[in-house]
Chain A
Amino acid sequence: MKVWDAIIIGGGHNGLVNACYLQRAGLDVLVVEKNDWVGGAATSRELTPGFLYSNCSYVCSLFRPEIMRDLELPRFGLQVIAYEGGAVFTRDGDYLANYRDHDAHRREFARFSKRDAEAYDRYARDVTRQCRFIQPLLMRTAPDPTSLRPRDLGELLYLGKKFAGLSAQEMALTLRFWTMSISEFLDEYFETDVIKANFALSGIIGTALGPMSPGTAYVLLHHYMGEVDGSVGAWGYARGGMGAVTKALAASFKSSGGTIRTGAEVDHVLVSRGKARGVVLAGGEEVHGKLVVSNADVKRTFLKLIEEKELPDIFLRRVRNFKIRGSSGKVNIALDSLPEFPALPKDSPVYRGDMHFTDSMERMERAYDDWKAGRWSADPFLDMVIPTTLDPTMAPPGKHFMSCFVQYAPPKVNGREWTDADRDGFAESVIAQIADYSPGFRDRIVHMEVRTPREIEAEVGLTEGNIFQGELTFDQLLFNRPVPGYAQYRSPVGGLYMCGSSTHPGGGVMGAPGRNAAAEILRDLAKSTSHMSPAHDVI
């Protein structure tokens, strides 16, 4: 009987990152993936001939460069192409663009407000200061504040020192940052609604909160911590779609001797005498391993894959109380030509970046009110990109792939399951919005894939279709993520670990949870972690 050193449940990017690090530490690692392909939410799929769909995750920025380096992802084919711009279209026939050049950025803002144009530097300084405080925490295991173990005390001390290293002003700002809404935060810098809306979108993407909800200022930071080749805060496309990230990870894993089984859905984790011994696949096949790592979200892992009796009540209660909350959907579109936006000059770099239509805080917040009421937004917030403007490999010549990330879409519609008719209504709200700004848009559509939380959960396995495997509110961050007492990638079951985005530091194609979990596992096995780069210095 084969006994693997480690079995990873789920071949998403965090599962693969975790697998790579374990395999490179000399373990014999198996990844079991339910779908016939790996990638989880970071995939490229040919859903209609000639078109590659980044049908779930669609941008690359947060992925930690330390991990890319350790796992040699460029060698295995990963290329990231940075956005060249971005814009919010306004209803008066204009747009507000984001340009990479600092002075162009200022002049663009000055078209709307000279004051706001000159307020940007102070805003950028304050946000950068906060990012610098938080970024080093991404690649560390959060301490347990109730523990007296030297490691936890050491980590607490590190946190304390980092905090004490801030000036009084920064400390005050840090405390406010964690509790303010992005709307209120932006009010302190800017006067123009569309400029605020332009920044606020980073405070809501992926969450079930509106821009006026306290706590969304922190979510903005989470999105600002990305980098493309050292350019902090930059976003980019993976050439060949987001599947290129997981494809490179899988190649890296296999090249170091790892094994992947696709089409292998885990029915449950094999537990005996309080210890994980392997997994049982849907067909009944038992696969044995010395330890099991789950890339699935914390609810799926502990409420579906493990029997209740194996878990302490307080842990189960906290897992049940973990807020996952699907809030978004995707509409992926194959187009027979590049859509035109009359408001946008034809030579604008904005075509090669992210585009939005929500030009006021009120529209954004009202879209959220719809979600709270249990329906999809009548006037949704879209984060729309056309990656084929920079990556022709994703569509036949002259044709384009468009990805629309849509908020808000509730996990259930008025308390019931989504129906196909609901899904069509949801899609129509998106297409109608785009068509308002792009005449003839409907005629360009060759094929369309619509994913509500229902589809995302069914296919990717993300509970409620939440892209972050759990809300990024304070009650679910750091030592509270996923649940208090178990923020260190371990679980109440011996030999069972977590490595998904439900764990610290959370979602986005970042890889940090997978890496941090590997570090904890290797520590438990008393194995070397010398193949893992320490987090880059922030000086």
Chain B
Amino acid sequence: MTSFDAIIIGGGHNGLVTAATLAKAGRKVLVLEAGREVGGAARTEEFAPGFRVSSVAHLLNRLHPEMVKTLELEKHGLQFARADFMPSVALSKDGPPLVLHGAYGEVLTGASASEQSAWKELRAQLLRYAGILKPFLSRRPPDLAGMSLLDTASLGQTTLTLKKLGKEDMRDFLRVLLMNVADLLDEQLADIRLKGLLAFDATLGSHLGPRSPTSLLGLYSRLAGETAGAAGAQALPQGGMGAVIAAIRAAAEKAGVVTRASAPVAKIIIEKGRAVGVALDSGEVLRARTIVSAINPATTFLDLVGPREIDTGFMRKVKNIRMKGDAAKLNLALDRPPQFTGVDAAGHRGRLVIAPSPDHVERAFNPCKYGEFSPEPVMEITLPSLADPSLAPSGACVLSAVVQYAPYGLKEGWDAGKPKFLQAIMAQLEAYAPGIGKCVVHAEFLTPADIEVRYRMPGGHWHHGELQADQMLISRPVSGWSGYDTPIEGLFLAGAGSHPGGGVSGAPGLNAARRIIAMKG
């Protein structure tokens, strides 16, 4: 039997990135994936005969450049050009839509001249501020207990970047840092469609409304991401998100990583406070010097390690990680492409957003605080088969939508609530794309409860833990253990539950691998 230096639990994109990076550094690495294939929530799956779709994540906007470089993904077929950048379309029921072209609205159309110049200014400001936070993405959060030289240097660097802003810009940066997005938009913009789109983007994937303080951070975190070197740009790979996974997997395998699918881990084996191996559901035991969990931190500690091997305070912190998702995924198999009112052909290939105003987003958010779904949900829609006909039978179309707010813990239970919420979503779609309902051949609707089961994501939360200010940086996944290592020697975390969080970036996986290499693990 081959022996491995490192075992990675979980073959999602972060697990594969860690595996590939470790393998490139000379480690013998085994990836254990519970499902039938690797890729986690970034797979491309068939959901109706002939119709394929990206499973949960359906857009690329933050694949980390250092990861792309380290894994040489471009050699493995993952390459984007400016022409691939998708526009964002703020849909409107009764008028022409507003469109952000290029990399997050380098050009804005459908808005007044004054709004265009206001947007230009705001966009530049947001990109400047997001740029300050960007270096943090590819670093371990600073360790408060004993700031290392590297930590201090990285903080120092941030301060220097801050200084470069100029006095007034720096003052504004410090003021708006933890602000709510709605206020900032009200201060600088007038068009509620544009404000609605930005409010949606800031709160997508989090349990916040645009009026919740700190919600602006969501926008920064989006704009700190980049595609083909352009901040805020988004693209859809040919073949869906599965193509990204295929490229990472190819890089990993080339580096010698062994992947085993259908190999769910039942237990992480701890001996004298040290992780020494894993036991599979089948009873098979595999041992390695380093164990990396690229799955949810709560699952890792509460189920795989178990409370007996960790301290009570740590367990409390892990249990306190908030990870109840509010986003649902709707995949529609349509017999023909839908027509969204006022949207041109290029727009249909973009990201279509239903979020008519910040107040609308806020009203959609309200009920989810009490375990109720939004009666008028907000959503982002893509029609991936328009650019990639391989995803649907000829003449047919795939619609993929991420919809909010669908609280994981629906009070009435999702069995009863699911058809009602689907009805509410379809009503919204019908309002913006009249006649779409009649084109539906098949609908696959995943609530957070479904996502939890299917993709082993507790709470159905794609960040594996709310990405809010109090669960970021040094507090992610829990305070005191934000640097990818854990209280268990030899056990590391590498998933989205760790800094800098979820979305298909590979940054947690890359940072974790770097940490393991630094620790000689």
Direct contact of A and B (CB under 8 A): yes
Which A residues contact B (CB, under 8 angstroms)? 145-146, 168-169, 171-173, 175-176, 178-180, 184, 187-188, 209, 212-215, 314, 318, 321, 323, 362, 365-366, 369, 372-373, 473-475, 479-480, 484-485
Which chain A residues lie closer than 8 Å to B468 at the CB level? 179, 214
Given contacts A179-B468, A187-B320, A213-B213, list 20 more A-B pairs with CB under 8 A: A146-B170, A169-B480, A172-B144, A172-B474, A179-B214, A179-B470, A209-B213, A212-B369, A214-B212, A214-B214, A214-B469, A215-B213, A314-B168, A475-B175, A475-B177, A475-B178, A475-B179, A479-B174, A484-B172, A484-B174
Interface residues of B in 326-374 (CB under 8 A from A): 362-363, 366, 369-370
Contacts of A145 in B (CB 8 A): 170, 174
Which residues does chain A contribute within 8 Å of B428, judged by CB atoms? Answer: none
Quick check: B479 and A215 within 8 Å, CB to CB?
Answer: no
* Cross-chain contact of A168 among B144, B168, B177, B213 (Cβ < 8 A): B144
Enumerate B361-392 residues with CB–CB distance to A below 8 Å: 362-363, 366, 369-370
Q: Are A473 and B213 in contact (CB under 8 A)?
A: yes
The answer, yes or no, to whether B420 is at the interface (CB within 8 Å) is no
- Complex CA gap A314/B177 in Å reads 18
Complex Cα distance, B313 from A173, in Å, reads: 14
Contacts of A184 in B (CB 8 A): 322, 470
CB distance from A171 to the nearest CB of B (A): 5
B136-159 contacts to A, CB under 8 A, are 144-145
In Å, the complex CA distance between A146 and B144 comes to 24
B361 to chain A, nearest CB (A): 12
In whole angstroms, how far apart are the Cα atoms of A178 and B472 in the complex?
Answer: 13
Residues of A within 8 A of B369 (CB): 212, 362, 365
Q: Is the CB of B213 within 8 A of A214?
A: yes
Are A179 and B176 closer than 8 Å at their CB atoms?
Answer: no
Q: A146-B167, A175-B474 are in contact. Are A168 and B145 (CB under 8 A)?
A: yes
A-B contact pairs, 19 of them (CB 8 A): A146-B167, A172-B474, A176-B475, A179-B468, A214-B178, A214-B208, A214-B213, A214-B214, A215-B214, A314-B168, A318-B175, A321-B183, A365-B369, A372-B211, A372-B362, A373-B363, A473-B213, A474-B178, A475-B177
Residue B311, interface by CB 8 Å: no
A476 nearest in chain B by CB position? B175
Q: Which one of B167, B174, B469, B480 lies within 8 Å of A480 (CB-CB)?
A: B174
- Chain B neighbourhood of A323, CB < 8 A: 183
CA distance A485 to B211 in the complex (A): 25
Per DSSP, chain B at the interface is helix
Q: Is A484 a contact partner of B175 (Cβ separation < 8 A)? A: yes
Report the bound CA distance from A213 to B479 in whole Å: 21
Let me know if B187 and A175 touch, CB within 8 A.
Answer: no
Q: Does B454 contact A (CB under 8 A)?
A: no
Q: How far is the CB of B317 from chain A (nearest CB, A)?
A: 9
B171 near A: Cβ within 8 Å?
yes
- When C-beta atoms are compared, the residue in chain A nearest to B370 turns out to be A362
Which residue of B has the minimal Cβ distance to A172? B479
Separation of A332 and B338 alpha carbons in the complex (Å) = 59
Say yes or no: A146-B171 contact (C-beta < 8 A), given A172-B475, A214-B469: yes
Q: Is the CB of A168 within 8 A of B470?
A: no
Q: Contact between B171 and A214 (Cβ–Cβ < 8 Å)?
A: no
The 8 Å CB contact of A485, one of B168, B187, B213, B474, is: B168
Contact of B470 among A180, A321, A365 (CB under 8 A): A180
Asked, given contacts A314-B168, A475-B176, whether A169 binds B470 with beta carbons under 8 Å apart, the answer is: no
Whether B178 contacts A215 by the Cβ 8 Å rule is: yes
Of residues A180, A475, A485, which shows the largest number of chain B Cβ atoms within 10 Å of its Cβ? A475
Report whether B144 and A474 are in contact in the complex, using a CB–CB cutoff of 8 Å: no
Q: How far is the CA of A32 from the CA of B145 in the complex (A)?
A: 53
Chain A residues within 8 Å of B167, by CB: 146, 485
Is there contact, CB below 8 Å, between A485 and B171?
A: yes
Expressed in whole angstroms, the minimum distance between the Cβ of A453 and any Cβ of chain B is: 18
Chain B CB within 10 A, most for which of A172, A173, A212, A373: A172
Instruction: Output the residue of A188, A321, A479 with the most chain B CB within 10 A.
Output: A321
Q: How far is the CA of A369 from the CA of B369 in the complex (A)?
A: 10
B174 touches A473 (CB 8 A): no
Residue of A nearest to B216 (CB): A475
Chain B residue with the shortest CB-CB distance to A166: B144
* Chain B residue contacts of A366, Cβ below 8 A: 370
Beta-carbon nearest neighbor of B363 in chain A: A373
Give the residues in chain B near A484, CB-CB below 8 Å: 171-172, 174-175
Chain A neighbourhood of B176, CB < 8 A: 475
Known: A172-B474, A484-B175. A474 touches B370 (CB 8 A): no
Q: List A contacts of B469 (CB < 8 A).
A: 179, 214
- The reply to whether B178 and A176 form a contact with Cβ atoms under 8 Å apart is no
A391 to B492: give the CA distance in the assembly, Å.
Answer: 63
Measured in the bound complex, the distance between the Cα atoms of B183 and A146 in whole Å is: 24
Interface centre among A169, A178, A214 (most CB of B within 10 A): A214
Complex: how many Å from CA A365 to CA B371?
A: 13
Q: Which residue of A lies closest to B362 (CB)?
A: A372
Residues of B within 8 A of A213 (CB): 211-213
When chains A and B are docked, how far (Å) is the Cα of A435 from the Cα of B187? 42
Determine the distance from Cα of A172 to Cα of B471 in the docked complex, in whole angstroms: 10
Q: Which residue of B lies closest to A487 (CB)?
A: B171
* Bound-state Cα–Cα, A145 to B173, Å: 12
- Measured CB to CB, the closest approach of chain B to A480, in angstroms, equals 5
List of B residues within 8 angstroms of A187 by Cβ: 320
Docked complex Cα distance between A250 and B213 (Å): 39
From B144, B168, B316, residue with most partner A Cβ within 10 Å: B144
Contact of B178 among A173, A372, A473 (CB under 8 A): A473
Kindly state the separation between the CA atoms of A209 and B215 in the bound complex, as whole angstroms. Answer: 14
Residues of chain A lying within 8 A (CB to CB) of residue B170: 145-146
A214 adjacent to B362 (CB under 8 Å): no
Partner of A188, one of B144, B212, B320, B366: B320
Q: Give A169 to B478 CA distance when docked, in angstroms.
A: 11
Kindly list chain B residues whose C-beta atoms are within 8 Å of the C-beta of A179.
Answer: 178, 213-214, 468-470
Determine the chain B residues whose CB is within 8 A of the CB of A212 once the complex forms: 369
Q: Are A214 and B179 in contact, CB atoms less than 8 angstroms apart? A: no
Q: Note all chain A residues with C-beta closer than 8 A to B175.
A: 318, 475, 480, 484
- Complex Cα gap A187–B174 (Å): 29
Interface residues of B in 443-468 (CB under 8 A from A): 468
Contacts of B475 in A (CB 8 A): 172, 175-176
Tell me the smallest distance from the CB of A376 to a CB of chain B, in Å. Answer: 17
Pairs of residues from A and B, 7 with the lowest C-beta to C-beta distance, nearest first: A172-B479, A484-B171, A179-B469, A168-B145, A215-B213, A474-B178, A176-B470
Q: Which residues of B contact A188 (CB under 8 A)?
A: 316, 320
With A168-B144, A480-B174 already in contact, the answer to whether A321 and B187 are too (CB < 8 A) is yes
Within 8 A of A (CB), among B191-214: 208, 211-214
Cβ contact of B480, chosen from A172, A209, A318, A373, cutoff 8 A: A172
CA distance A211 to B187 in the complex (A): 25
- Over the window 296-324 of chain B, the binary record of Cβ atoms lying under 8 Å from chain A Cβ atoms (1 yes, 0 no) is 00000000000000000000100010100
Q: Within 8 Å CB of A372, what residues of B?
A: 211, 362, 366
Give the one of B175, B177, B212, B468 with max A CB within 10 A.
Answer: B175
Expressed in whole angstroms, the Cα–Cα distance for A208 and B468 within the complex equals 20
B residues 472-510 touching A (CB-CB < 8 Å): 474-475, 479-480
Q: Could you say which residues of chain B place their CB within 8 Å of the CB of A474?
A: 177-179, 213
A175 contact set on B, CB distance < 8 A:
470, 474-475
Set of chain B residues within 8 Å of A475, measured between Cβ atoms: 175-179, 213
Query: Are the C-beta atoms of B479 and A173 separated by less than 8 Å?
Result: yes
Name the distance in Å between A180's Cβ and chain B's nearest Cβ: 5
Distance in Å: Cβ of A281 to nearest Cβ of chain B: 34
Complex CA gap A169/B481 in Å reads: 11
- Residue of A whose beta carbon sits closest to that of B145: A168
B372 to chain A: closest CB distance in Å?
11
